[in-house]
Amino acid sequence: MSVELIRGRYRYRLTRRYPQRFGGGRNVLGEVGSVAELEELLRRRTPLSLADLREAA
């Protein structure tokens, strides 16, 4: 997950990175503008929660 400045606003972008042996690159799974929306996106697309991201940081 990354936080990026997109079109003048900070957005949370959830991406999946592929290993170099598979050609590298990223697949954008979703992009949201608030923490509440990020929590919903994580719940729908991954087995992770915001608490998991905090532990990883």
| Confidence (pLDDT) at 17 | 85
- Phi, psi (deg, nearest 5) at residue 55: -65, -35
Q: What is the pTM of this model?
A: 0.68
Q: pLDDT confidence of 57, banded at 50, 70, 90?
A: low
Residue 1: predicted pLDDT? 62
Residue in the block written with tokens 């042996």: 21
14 Cβ neighbours under 8 A, 6+ residues apart:
1, 28, 29, 30, 31, 32, 38, 41, 42, 45, 46
Q: For residue range 16-47, list pLDDT tens digits in order.
A: 888 888 888 888 888 899 889 988 988 898 88
Distance from the Cα of residue 26 to its chain's centroid: 11
pLDDT above 70: residue 55: no
